[in-house]
Structure 1
Amino acid sequence: MRDFTGRAEHLAALDALIPPDPGQDDERPQSVVITAVDGAGGMGKTALALHWAHRIQRRFPDGTLHVNLRGYGPGEPATAAEALGGFLRALGVAARAVPADVEMQAGLLRSMLADKRVLMVLDNAYSVEQVRPLLPGTAGCMVVITSRDSLTGLVVTDAAYRLTLDLLTPPEALDLITGILGAERAAAERDAVNELVRLCTRLPLALRVAASRAAVHSHLTVAEVVSELADDRTRLDVLSEFADERAAVRAVFDWSYRRLPPEQAQLFRRLGLHPGPDLSLPAAAALAGLSPADARPLLAALADAHLIEPVAGGRYRFHDLLRTYAADQALHHDTGDDRDQALDAVLTWYIHTAHAADRKLYPAQTRPWDVVAEPARPYPIGDFDHALAWLSTERDNLIAALHYAAEHRLDRRTVSLTIACAFTATTVSWQTWIDIVTVGLMAACRVGGHIQEAQLLAHRGSAATYLHRWEQAAVDLDRVEAMARDLGDDELRVWVLNDRGLLLLKQRRFENALRYLDEALSLSRGIDTGRWEVVIEGNLSAAYVGLGRYREALDHGQRGLSLRRKAGDRAGESGAITDVARAQ
C-alpha cells in the first residue's frame, strides 16, 4: 500500500519469525511457522500482512500463495475446498487433476510444498476449522493468517504465534493522514488534523476514509470534515459514504456483527447502551439480564471477535466507534422498552452496590438515600478494602451514569447517583464535585426531595468553602438553614451549624467559628449515628489550634479519634489522627 505507515514493532516481530535459510545454523525448531494476526475490523490487518509479504518475498524463492478467505465481508466465507483448489492450480496442478476430497487436496498440497520455501498469506479467516486444512506440513514454509477472531485454537494446538493489532499510536495516525493529504496541507490545518485523529479514534480505516474525503473533495477543508464527524449520531454515516463496502466503516463493522450468534449479538447491543467508559462482568450481566456465569463466555467470545476489548481486572471496554455502532444496532433492533429496562437494571445495580460500599466505607455516615431498590443479582461488598476498591474502580462509571440519568430526566435515579458519587468528593477537584452536586440538586428540586435537596446544598456550600468562595458558600448555607427550620430537622440543623463553623474556620475567624461549633456539638449528641459528633470534634480541635489553645484542641481531637475507632470508621480515622497530631 503506497501510504502504509507505522506498525514498526509488528513488522519487526514478523521479521523475527522468518524461518532460517537452508543450511543456516539456527537453534529454532525447524517446523512450519504460523503467525495469526488478529484485531478488530478496520485495524489494518490485511494492509500489514500484504505490505510485509511484499517486502520480504525474496526470502521465499519458491513463491507466495495468497487467498482471501472472505471470513468477514459480503457473501459466504470461502470453503477449504475452494482455497485448496486455488492453491493447487497456482502450483501447476490441472483443474481436472485436483482431487474432489478435501483431505486428499490437503495431502496433495502438503506433498507439493515439502522441502520448499513458500510464504502463505491466508487473509480474512473466519475460524480455525477454515484454516487448518490449508497448513503445510514441513519446515521452511511460513503462514501468515489475518482474522478478526483470535484463532486461539491455532495457538494451542499448532504453536501459532499470535500478533494482535490495536489502534495506531498518535504519531502513526498523524503520519497516515499526512501521507494521504500531503505534508503541506496537513501542516496548514494541524489543529483540524489532530481533531480528526481524535474523532476517528486512531482506527486506520476510519482515518483513511476521513482523510480521503478531504483529499478527494478538494473544496472541503479538513476542518469541514471534522465538523461533519463531530456529531456522534451521524459519524458512522460520514465514515461510510464510499460505494466500496470495504472502505465503509459501518459495513466493515456489519460483517463482524452479522457473524455473531443471537445471544452474543444481543449482549453486544446491550453493551453499547452502557454510559461509562468500561464495565465489569457483574455490570455487564446486570445490563443484559443474565447471571455473571452466563455472561462470562459471551463476553469472552465478543473479545475473541475483537468487538470488545478485555482490560485489567476482568473488565471490558469498546473502541469508541464500535461503541457508537453497538448503540446504533440497539436502536434499530431492540424496542424502546428493551433498552429502557436494560439501562434501568444497570443503574439500579450501580446504585445498590454503591450504597452497600458506602455503608462499609463510612459506617458512621448518614446520607439522604431514597429507598434503594435491589437488583436481580446483588453484588456483595465484603469489607472496607473491597468497598474502597469498588468505589475507586467504578468512580468514572458512577459519574457517567449520573450524567446519563440527568440528560434523560430520570430524576430519582439522578438524585440517588449523586449521593452514590459522594465518595468522589475525596478523589476529584472541588469544582468537579460542585458540578456533580448541582446536577443532583436540579433533579431533587424537580421531584420534591426536600431532604436530599437540603443535604446536597450543604455539600455544595462546603465545597465552595474549600474553594474560598465565601459568598457562594453563605448563600447555599442560608438556604439549608431555612429548610432545616421549615422541615423541623435537627440533623440538618446540626449539619448547617457545622458548615457555618467550617466557613468561619477557613476565614480564620476562630472565635466566631467556636460559637457555631459548640451549638452544633450540643445538638448533635444522641440524634444520629454519631457521625456529626466526630466531625464537629475535629473542627473544634482545628479552631482551638487556631486560637493557640492547644490543650483544648488536643482534648477535642482525642475525643474525635476515640469516637471514630468506636464506630469502626477507618475512612475517618486518618483525619482524626491528623487532628491529634496538629494539636500535639
Structure 2
Amino acid sequence: MVDQPGVQNDLVGAVGGTVVQAGSIQHVALSTTPAAGSQLVDPPRQLPLAVRDFTGRLDHLQALDALLPAGDDKHAEAVVISAVDGAAGIGKTALTVHWAHRVQHRFPGGTLYTNMRGYGPGMPMPPLDALDGFLRALGVPAESIPVEAEARAALYRSVLTGRQVLIVLDNVNSADQVRPLLPAAPGCMVVVTSRHSLTGLVVIESAHRLTLDLLTEPEALELVTRIIGSARIAAERDVIDELIRLCARLPLALRIAASRVAAHPRHTVAEVVADLADEDSRLDTLSRDGDERAAVRAVFDWSYQRLPADQARMFRRVGLHPGPDLSEHAAAVLADVDPSKARQLLDRLADAHLVEPVGAGRYRLHDLLRAYAADQARRQDSPAIRDVAVLSLLTWYAHTAHICHARAFPGFYRLALRIESPARPQSITSRPQALDWLENEEASLIAAVNLSDQKRLHQHVIHLAESARFLTWLGAWDRQLAAFEMGVSASRRCGDRVAEAWLQTLHGEALRYRRCDDALAALTQACAIARELGDHFLLAAALNALGLVFHEQKRFEEAMRHFLQALPLSHGIDSGRQEAVLEYNLSRACTALGRHREAVDHAERSVTLRRRSGDTVGEIATLCELARAWQGQRNHPKTIALCRDAIALSPRIRSLGSILADLFDTLAVSLHHTGETSEAVSRWREALAIYEDCGRPGRATQVRERLDQVTSA
C-alpha cells in the first residue's frame, strides 16, 4: 500500500497488520482477531474502585441504563455517547463509576477508563496520551503505536471495530479533548463526565446530555446516615438538617462533613455544624488534610482557575450579591457591563456549572459556591472595588423598586427619593412589568435592606424598606416587618423625621396582623411625629392605621372615631387615594356595627374615588366591602352580583393576596343562603387555600368551620 494523493494529514489507513503513514510504511505483526492491529489479551477492566456508600440518583442511573446497546447484536446501534455534566463536587464521577461497575458485564470487549484531568492539579491529559494508554490496554504493543495523533486515533478506532467496549472519559474540560477518543464502529458506549456542558458533543456527535444537580433532601440524609451511622443520626437528629443545609446538599461537602463525625467518635454533629456556621471559614472546614481532591475549596479552584478573565470577574461580582438569585440586569450593575454582555458571561458560567439558570434571565449559586465566589472577591478585588460594586447594586435596587411601586400601585404615597440615580437604570414601563420585577426580586429586596443596614447606608435602607409594602399582597408579613423595623431605625439614625413617621405607620399597619399592642405603640408614636411636623397626610395615614388596629381588636366605635378624625385631613391629598381608603374602612366599621345602610354609602363613595384614581386593586376590595354591606341587609342577589363584578376584574390584577379570598368567602355565604351550596363549597375551598397561603390563620379557621358545618349537614 502506498501514499494516495489528496489524503490529508499523516494517516492514510490502517488495514490488517499494517499501519500506513505518509512517507513511510510501518508493519505491525499482530493477530487480526478480535480486531485488526491488536493482540489477544484479556479484556481490560480499568474502572477505579466504586464508592461504597453511593446514594440516590435513581433517575440518573435509569437514564444511563436506557442508553445501553440492546442485546448481543454488535451492530444493533451506533456508538452511544452520554455526556454527564454538573458542578464541582456534585458526584459525576461517583455516579458514572458506580453505574459502569453495574453494567460492565454487558461489554465483553472490556472497560476503559481514564481521568482526563480537565480540572485538577497539573495539566489536562492530552488525547494523545489517553490513546496510548487505551491502545496498550487493548493489546497493541508500545512499539506499534503511532506517534502522530491522527494515526494513533485511527488505529484506536480500528482496534475497537467489532468489539463491545465501555469507555469512561472522566473529568473532561472540552469536546475537543474527547473527540479523538470516540470509537467509530457500533457496539461501544462512551460516558464522558465534565464540569462543562459540552454542548458541542450534543450538537455534533449526538451525545445524550445528563446533568446532575444537588442531592435532594432525602438523598442527602441517606448519604449522611450511611457514613455516620443511623444510631448517631438518631441521637442528633435535630442538627442533621442544619448540617445538610450548610453543606448545600453538595455530595462532596456532605461526605467530608459526615466523615469528620464518623472518624472521630468524640466529635458530635453539633460541633461540626458549629464549625460550618462561620461562612468565612466554611470552605476550609470542608476539607481533608493533605488531600486536594477531598477539599471543597480546591475543587472549586480547579473550575475557577480555568475561566477567562471576564468570566472570572463576573463570577466574583455575583458572589457580592446578597440575595438567593439575581437577574442579568443586577449582574450587569455589579460588573458594570451592558445587560447583554452580562447575559453572555452568565451563560458561559452556567456552561461551566459555576452558576445555575433558574428562569428567564435569572441565575443562582448554591451556598458553598456563593461563599467561594465572595471569598475570591475578597482575595482578588480591593475593598474599594467591592464597595463601588455593592453601592451601585443597592442604588439600582432602591430606584427600580421605587419606580415599580409607582407603576404597580398608582396613587400610593411614596417618600421622595434622596439618593443618586443609578448608572445603569432599568426601564420599567407597565404595571405587569413592574409586578413581575417586584415578585421576582422579593427575596433580593429584603436581602438588599439587610446589606444596606449593615453598611449604614441609611437612605438606601429607608427607600428599600418602603418598597416592602408590596409584600402585603403576598402575605409575607414577617419579612415585611423586619424591613420596616430596619427602616424606622435608619430614619432615626439619620434624623429623617418624615421617613420615621411614614415607616412607623407602615410598621404599625403590618404589626396589626401579629401583635396589636406593639402596633398601637408604633402608630401612637407615628401620630405624634406627624402632628409635630404638621403633616396632614402623615397624620391621616397614622390615624387610619390606628383605626385598623382597633377594628382588628373588635373595638369598632374607637375604630370609627379614628377614621372620622382622619377623613377631613385626607381631602385633596394623594390623588384621593387616602380618602378612598378611609371611606372603605368606615364602611367596614359600619358593617361590623350593623349599620349597613351607612356602610353602603361609605363603600359607594370609596368605589367612585378608587375608579377616579385608577386604583383597580382598591376597587376590587371596596366592591367586596360593598357586597358585604348589602349582605348585611340580606340582599343576597345584590351581594352575588357585586362579588362577580369584582372577580371579573381580578384577572387583570396580580398579587391580590387575601382580597380575593375575602371575595370568595363573601360570595360563598350568599350562594349558600340562596341554595347554591355546591358552588358555595367550591368558593370556600378557594378562599381557605388563599388564607392559608397568605398567613391568615384566623380567617382560615373561620372558613374551615363554615365548610365543616355545610359539608356535614
- Coarse TM-score class (shorter-chain normalised): over 0.9
Alignment partner for residue 192 of structure 2, among 128, 145, 150?
145
Q: Gaps spanning 5+ residues in structure 2: where?
A: 1-50, 631-713
Maintained 8 Å contact 1:541/1:579: yes
Provide Cα deviations, 1:372-398, integer angstroms capped at 9, x if missing partner: 532222212232222222211211111
Provide Cα deviations, 1:48-74, integer angstroms capped at 9, x if missing partner: 111111121111111111111100000
Q: Does 1:8 align with 2:55?
A: no
Q: How far apart, in 1, do the equivalents of 2:515 and 2:386 lie?
A: 44
Superposed, 1:96-107 pairs within 5 Å as 96-107=143-154
| Counterpart code for 1:254 | D
Q: How far apart, in 1, do the equivalents of 2:184 and 2:519 lie?
A: 77
Q: Does 1:296 align with 2:343?
A: yes
Maintained 8 Å contact 2:75/2:187: no
SS at 2:88 equivalent: coil
Maintained 8 Å contact 2:419/2:460: no
Q: How far apart, in 1, do the equivalents of 2:317 and 2:213 lie?
A: 23
> Which is worse superposed, 166-175 or 107-116?
166-175
Q: How far apart, in 1, do the equivalents of 2:561 and 2:220 lie?
A: 62
Q: Does 1:539 align with 2:585?
A: yes
Give 1:468 deviation, angstroms.
5.8
Cα RMSD for the two superposed structures: 1.8
What does residue 277 of structure 1 align with?
Answer: 324
Q: Gaps spanning 5+ residues in structure 1: where?
A: none
What does residue 527 of structure 1 align with?
Answer: 573
Q: How far apart, in 2, do the equivalents of 1:25 and 1:81 lie?
A: 28
Q: How far apart, in 2, do the equivalents of 1:218 and 1:476 lie?
A: 52
> Which is worse superposed, 500-509 or 410-419?
500-509
Superposed, 1:141-540 pairs within 5 Å as 141-467=188-514, 469=516, 471-540=517-586
Give 1:110 deviation, angstroms.
0.8
Identity %: 54
Q: How far apart, in 2, do the equivalents of 1:520 and 1:222 lie?
A: 58
Q: How far apart, in 2, do the equivalents of 1:214 and 1:501 lie?
A: 57
Maintained 8 Å contact 2:328/2:342: yes
Provide Cα deviations, 1:493-539, integer angstroms capped at 9, x if missing partner: 22223223333333444444333323322221123322211111111
| Counterpart code for 2:106 | R
What does residue 117 of structure 1 align with?
Answer: 164
Maintained 8 Å contact 2:334/2:390: yes
Q: Does 1:18 align with 2:64?
A: no
| Cα 1:186–1:526 shift into 2, 3 Å | closer
Q: Does 1:56 align with 2:103?
A: yes
SS at 1:36 equivalent: strand
Give 1:140 deviation, angstroms.
0.2
| Counterpart code for 1:186 | I
Q: Does 1:575 align with 2:621?
A: yes
Maintained 8 Å contact 1:276/1:400: yes
| Counterpart code for 1:199 | L
| Cα 1:191–1:549 shift into 2, 3 Å | closer
Provide Cα deviations, 1:111-165, integer angstroms capped at 9, x if missing partner: 1111110110001000011111110001100000000001011011111001111
Alignment partner for residue 78 of structure 1, among 111, 125, 131?
125
| Counterpart code for 1:313 | A
| Cα 1:413–1:61 shift into 2, 3 Å | same
Maintained 8 Å contact 2:275/2:282: yes
Q: How far apart, in 2, do the equivalents of 1:293 and 1:170 lie?
A: 36
Instruction: Name the larger-Rg structure.
Output: 2
What does residue 176 of structure 2 align with?
Answer: 129
| Counterpart code for 1:577 | L
Give 1:189 deviation, angstroms.
2.7
Relative to the length of structure 1, the TM-score reads: 0.96
| Cα 1:464–1:54 shift into 2, 3 Å | closer
Alignment partner for residue 141 of structure 2, among 83, 87, 94?
94
Alignment partner for residue 548 of structure 1, among 585, 594, 604?
594
Q: Which has the higher contact order (CA 8 A, sep 6+)?
A: 1
| Counterpart code for 1:563 | L
Maintained 8 Å contact 2:286/2:295: yes
What does residue 20 of structure 2 align with?
Answer: none
| Cα 1:180–1:505 shift into 2, 3 Å | closer
Q: How far apart, in 1, do the equivalents of 2:58 and 2:561 lie?
A: 69
What does residue 90 of structure 2 align with?
Answer: 43
Give 1:444 deviation, angstroms.
0.8
Provide Cα deviations, 1:169-192, integer angstroms capped at 9, x if missing partner: 222222222222233333333333
